[in-house]
Chains A and B, each alone.
Chain A
């Protein structure tokens, strides 16, 4: 292993600009003559728009224009779409309601934009926005997914607010297995609604060039090409070749920046209308109201076991809240990213899952770190833990009895796991966490009036999203391959254009490690280019822990072609047969001789083309690859959380955290560990602190960072992180992906630990001090004083 090659903890290239304040985020980009967009948003969750009077606003200082939903409709700007078709049990397609970028006629959640002020400055825009008079007729609202079907109907196309009633698995076989079971564990679970809260708020800057009729959008996107595709093909803003999308440095995404949002559409439209660049940057209040939220499931789940603790079957019935509109990929999250993972790491003969997706008068809900897989893991890992307690079997032992042991393994819910060793990760985690010493630690804690608990989460996820044919057959509107273009310059330096996008993952470093190792050239001589549709031809972006498994695989394929072409050039240079050229450590050698040419010399010769005629070989050294994976990848591992609960206050403190993950091949262990840390923090946030709360009128009660508890440094411990490795056979590098594991594993580990400590299973997330204290009173009521 070289100091900068695969497996080395190389310090990140991108950090120099970030630690010196020279990052270039969307709001940092300034275009000459730019204006600011300020949105007028609905204060009501559900209301008819009786009238909008913008006359006074238009007279305000600095106002360029005020535009409404009626103007948008007049200009025939199309609706936003959800790109994954789900069919109900009865075969009917999902009920996708119209989603205009500015509401027209009716608003369906607080924060729904009804008008936009374009002004010279932000302050002028805000002043003017206050003068836009909107007359609403307030309608009753529904926010609780469990009550959505009986609530006021939100969209004409969706009776009972039902988007689909989907199912997966074999209901008969599952029912039969439950009938034969000696033990059934039942749980009612609420997977709490979360606000992603990437630290950089969403932003959009649009510019229209009247000379060329081209539109350019700078935005905070995880997938600029998909944004361009949707805005061109569905919204109809401009033909794809007349629209450029640039997603520069992006300050975190966690899923929330995958989606195509109304503000991007409005900025583009307004820029063309006003002939001025238009910039919008969300303030945090807007982020809370309008970023797609995550999770929000209500589930009843059951696990059937025999007398030996062998799992016979699992069934789950879930209501998934998709909010007021169907966001870009929202339909897939509670279905194919959820139901398909309900087998966990276990050999479960029968599974049946039903999911009803509903509209409510809340912000749209879509993928948030893990997306469906945290919800599935929470169901499975809570069921297994509770079953173990009910049966008096050690939780680790019950897991071992049911682990899948041979691969490939076909689950009853579509997925075919290709590789893994679940015993290995559990064993290593048990050692690192010193589970043997837990009993003593628990007794010590008791002497200090604390309840100590231990919780496991042996999670699995499906990443490397995804084989195009497979997702196509499940309703996805796009293919989920990835592209790479490797441009070797005449001087031997290399640019790699990737269709993935980095917003914290460090691709500029890890991708360069791959190229440096493969071509035997200095790490410093490699640049990674991403996030600009004018530079990168096409790509599907970054989410679902796909950039390594799919994006880097595309680079490998392009590098294969580079090597093949370079060998031809070297053969001419060295006057040898192409088949005799060997390439190693950046040098082309004629086999069995000392005749060689360095990579840089071959690159130069490819471009000057003095040694070969164009008829024999094209000049240049640039290759492209589109890589489509053969399967999902299946990262898995074991997280163990150890907590202490203060019985007086209910406050939980995480004493130890052990994570042992199998991510397949690791390119940069420093970056991988960082991804694990961050994922765990978000999972702990869900378990202990975070919860988006709407009141029954539809107001977001947790609408700022003062009300919505973001994890802070003192809420978290340091983490003990270990790795095991089985390589994924589904991509050339053996990578599985690491970005979401922590967020998927953590919530179940925390809740399993707290419930172990307090001795009751009746505990919802977030397990705040108040919630835990209340649960403690239920479990062990104090005598009245």
Chain B
């Protein structure tokens, strides 16, 4: 089996994987980072969104081998282990932007990418359009939209949009 090496949440990791192993499988099964979820087989739902070299990507749609040498950030890498939540995580909690929690890691990672691309002052229309790649079945999106707007603002105030592990 080919070996793969990448940086995940600031740590260098290596593993032997079958060529067909998806990035999400490598994260979940090899590294036991189970915060990244799988909700569909067709790149529709976004539960598996992580950051690859700082850009959001659906980890069900990348082979682990494609990420050789890449810097990956998962939901587990957003906040320091015993530190405060990342402002976007805090905003989801504060605004009740989650219910069952299954889509949440992907939502938060996608939300950070919206901030990266569209800045910290996000209107409702922009957020709704930009969330096209993520499906939530619980919340009706109302509070997710509020959470992302609030989280984006909080990131600007904190001046720390950088993630802990990047």
Residues of A within 8 A of B (CB): 11-12, 14-25, 27-28, 30, 123, 197-201, 249-252, 254, 283-285, 503-506, 670-671, 673-674, 677-682, 704-706, 710-714, 716, 718-719, 742
Given A284-B41, A713-B127, do A705 and B102 touch, yes or no (CB 8 Å)? no
Whether the Cβ atoms of A20 and B78 lie closer than 8 Å is: yes
Choice from B39, B76, B128 contacting A21 with Cβ under 8 Å: B76
Whether the Cβ atoms of A20 and B39 lie closer than 8 Å is: no
Whether the Cβ atoms of A11 and B93 lie closer than 8 Å is: yes
Q: Quick check: is B45 within 8 A (CB to CB) of the other chain?
A: yes
Residue of A198, A200, A254, A283 with highest tally of chain B CB at under 10 A? A200
Query: Which residues of the partner chain B approach A506 to less than 8 Å between Cβ atoms?
Result: 99
Name 16 interchain pairs, CB-CB below 8 A, sorted by A.
Answer: A15-B101, A19-B89, A19-B93, A20-B79, A25-B37, A199-B102, A199-B103, A284-B41, A284-B42, A506-B99, A674-B142, A712-B141, A713-B127, A713-B134, A714-B132, A716-B140
- Assembly CA distance A250 to B99 (angstroms): 10
- Assembly CA distance A616 to B75 (angstroms): 55
- Assembly CA distance A195 to B23 (angstroms): 28
Q: Quick check: is B53 within 8 A (CB to CB) of the other chain?
A: no
Query: Which residues of the partner chain B approach A718 to less than 8 Å between Cβ atoms?
Result: 124, 142, 145
Query: Which residues of the partner chain B approach A198 to less than 8 Å between Cβ atoms?
Result: 100, 102, 137
Name which residue of chain B comes closest to A718, CB basis.
B142
Name which residue of chain B comes closest to A15, CB basis.
B93
What string of 1s and 0s marks CB contacts (under 8 Å) between B23-58 and chain A?
000001000111111111110110100000000000
Per DSSP, chain B at the interface is: loop
Is the interface on chain B under 10, 10 to 19, 20 to 34, or 35 or more residues? 35 or more
Q: Quick check: is B14 within 8 A (CB to CB) of the other chain?
A: no
Q: Quick check: is B108 within 8 A (CB to CB) of the other chain?
A: yes
- Considering only residues 84-101 of chain B, those with a C-beta below 8 Å from chain A are 85, 89-90, 92-94, 96, 98-101
Q: Quick check: is B136 within 8 A (CB to CB) of the other chain?
A: yes
Whether the Cβ atoms of B128 and A201 lie closer than 8 Å is: no
Whether the Cβ atoms of B102 and A252 lie closer than 8 Å is: yes
Query: Which residues of the partner chain B approach A25 to less than 8 Å between Cβ atoms?
Result: 34, 37, 102
Query: Which residues of the partner chain B approach A28 to less than 8 Å between Cβ atoms?
Result: 28, 34
Whether the Cβ atoms of B45 and A504 lie closer than 8 Å is: no
- Assembly CA distance A24 to B100 (angstroms): 11
Whether the Cβ atoms of B101 and A18 lie closer than 8 Å is: yes
Name which residue of chain A comes closest to B105, CB basis.
A21
Whether the Cβ atoms of A19 and B140 lie closer than 8 Å is: no
Whether the Cβ atoms of B101 and A23 lie closer than 8 Å is: yes
Minimum Cβ distance to chain B for residue A414 (Å): 32
- Assembly CA distance A356 to B39 (angstroms): 35
Q: Quick check: is B63 within 8 A (CB to CB) of the other chain?
A: no
Q: Quick check: is B120 within 8 A (CB to CB) of the other chain?
A: no
Given A284-B40, A713-B131, do A677 and B139 touch, yes or no (CB 8 Å)? yes
Choice from B39, B132, B139 contacting A678 with Cβ under 8 Å: B139
Whether the Cβ atoms of A678 and B74 lie closer than 8 Å is: no
Query: Which residues of the partner chain B approach A30 to less than 8 Å between Cβ atoms?
Result: 32
Choice from A12, A19, A199, A673 contacting B135 with Cβ under 8 Å: A199
Query: Which residues of the partner chain A approach B37 to less than 8 Å between Cβ atoms?
Result: 25, 199-200, 251
Q: Quick check: is B138 within 8 A (CB to CB) of the other chain?
A: yes
Whether the Cβ atoms of A712 and B132 lie closer than 8 Å is: yes
Residues of B within 8 A of A (CB): 18, 20-21, 28, 32-42, 44-45, 47, 74-76, 78-79, 85, 89-90, 92-94, 96, 98-105, 108, 124, 127-129, 131-132, 134-145
Minimum Cβ distance to chain B for residue A7 (Å): 16
In the complex, besides A285-B41, A673-B96, A716-B140, 20 extra interface pairs with C-beta distance below 8 angstroms are A12-B96, A15-B98, A19-B75, A23-B101, A25-B102, A28-B34, A123-B18, A199-B103, A199-B135, A200-B102, A252-B100, A252-B138, A503-B100, A506-B99, A681-B141, A705-B135, A713-B141, A714-B129, A718-B124, A718-B142
Choice from B32, B89, B127, B136 contacting A199 with Cβ under 8 Å: B136
- Assembly CA distance A141 to B74 (angstroms): 46
Minimum Cβ distance to chain A for residue B136 (Å): 7
Query: Which residues of the partner chain A approach B99 to less than 8 Å between Cβ atoms?
Result: 252, 504-506, 674, 678
Query: Which residues of the partner chain A approach B135 to less than 8 Å between Cβ atoms?
Result: 199, 705, 710, 712
Whether the Cβ atoms of B47 and A22 lie closer than 8 Å is: no
Name which residue of chain A comes closest to B108, CB basis.
A19
Query: Which residues of the partner chain B approach A11 to less than 8 Å between Cβ atoms?
Result: 93-94, 96
Query: Which residues of the partner chain B approach A681 to less than 8 Å between Cβ atoms?
Result: 137, 139-141
- Assembly CA distance A27 to B29 (angstroms): 10
- Assembly CA distance A283 to B32 (angstroms): 19
Choice from A123, A200, A714, A719 contacting B128 with Cβ under 8 Å: A714
Query: Which residues of the partner chain A approach B93 to less than 8 Å between Cβ atoms?
Result: 11-12, 15-16, 19
Given A23-B35, A200-B102, A714-B128, do A674 and B92 touch, yes or no (CB 8 Å)? no
Query: Which residues of the partner chain A approach B102 to less than 8 Å between Cβ atoms?
Result: 23, 25, 198-200, 251-252
Whether the Cβ atoms of A705 and B138 lie closer than 8 Å is: no
- Assembly CA distance A12 to B139 (angstroms): 14
- Assembly CA distance A718 to B147 (angstroms): 13
Query: Which residues of the partner chain A approach B33 to less than 8 Å between Cβ atoms?
Result: 21
- Assembly CA distance A682 to B135 (angstroms): 12
Q: Closest 8 interchain pairs by CB?
A: A21-B35, A251-B102, A18-B101, A681-B140, A504-B100, A504-B99, A21-B75, A677-B140
Choice from A12, A18, A682, A705 contacting B45 with Cβ under 8 Å: A705
- Assembly CA distance A706 to B41 (angstroms): 10
Whether the Cβ atoms of A249 and B131 lie closer than 8 Å is: no
Residue of A14, A17, A20, A25 with highest tally of chain B CB at under 10 A? A20
- Assembly CA distance A678 to B108 (angstroms): 18
Name which residue of chain B comes closest to A200, CB basis.
B102
Minimum Cβ distance to chain A for residue B51 (Å): 13
Name which residue of chain A comes closest to B147, CB basis.
A19
Name which residue of chain A comes closest to B35, CB basis.
A21
- Assembly CA distance A252 to B45 (angstroms): 14
- Assembly CA distance A680 to B104 (angstroms): 20
Whether the Cβ atoms of B139 and A670 lie closer than 8 Å is: no
Given A11-B93, A14-B101, do A21 and B140 touch, yes or no (CB 8 Å)? no
Whether the Cβ atoms of B132 and A250 lie closer than 8 Å is: no
Whether the Cβ atoms of A713 and B128 lie closer than 8 Å is: yes
Whether the Cβ atoms of A704 and B40 lie closer than 8 Å is: yes
Minimum Cβ distance to chain A for residue B36 (Å): 7
Query: Which residues of the partner chain B approach A716 to less than 8 Å between Cβ atoms?
Result: 128, 140-142
- Assembly CA distance A285 to B74 (angstroms): 25
Whether the Cβ atoms of A283 and B41 lie closer than 8 Å is: yes
Name which residue of chain A comes closest to B33, CB basis.
A21
Minimum Cβ distance to chain B for residue A153 (Å): 34
Query: Which residues of the partner chain A approach B34 to less than 8 Å between Cβ atoms?
Result: 21, 24-25, 27-28
Name which residue of chain A comes closest to B144, CB basis.
A713
- Assembly CA distance A16 to B101 (angstroms): 10
Query: Which residues of the partner chain A approach B75 to less than 8 Å between Cβ atoms?
Result: 19-21
- Assembly CA distance A229 to B75 (angstroms): 37
Query: Which residues of the partner chain A approach B96 to less than 8 Å between Cβ atoms?
Result: 11-12, 670-671, 673-674
Query: Which residues of the partner chain B approach A283 to less than 8 Å between Cβ atoms?
Result: 38, 41
- Assembly CA distance A674 to B145 (angstroms): 13
- Assembly CA distance A83 to B101 (angstroms): 31
Minimum Cβ distance to chain A for residue B142 (Å): 4
Whether the Cβ atoms of A200 and B39 lie closer than 8 Å is: yes
Query: Which residues of the partner chain B approach A674 to less than 8 Å between Cβ atoms?
Result: 96, 99, 138-139, 142-143
Query: Which residues of the partner chain B approach A201 to less than 8 Å between Cβ atoms?
Result: 38-39
Query: Which residues of the partner chain A approach B145 to less than 8 Å between Cβ atoms?
Result: 713, 718
- Assembly CA distance A705 to B58 (angstroms): 15
Query: Which residues of the partner chain A approach B127 to less than 8 Å between Cβ atoms?
Result: 713
Minimum Cβ distance to chain B for residue A224 (Å): 16
Residue of B32, B79, B137, B145 with highest tally of chain A CB at under 10 A? B137
Query: Which residues of the partner chain B approach A742 to less than 8 Å between Cβ atoms?
Result: 140
Whether the Cβ atoms of B20 and A200 lie closer than 8 Å is: no
Minimum Cβ distance to chain B for residue A22 (Å): 7
- Assembly CA distance A303 to B77 (angstroms): 59
Residue of B39, B79, B92, B105 with highest tally of chain A CB at under 10 A? B39
- Assembly CA distance A372 to B79 (angstroms): 44
Name which residue of chain A comes closest to B98, CB basis.
A18
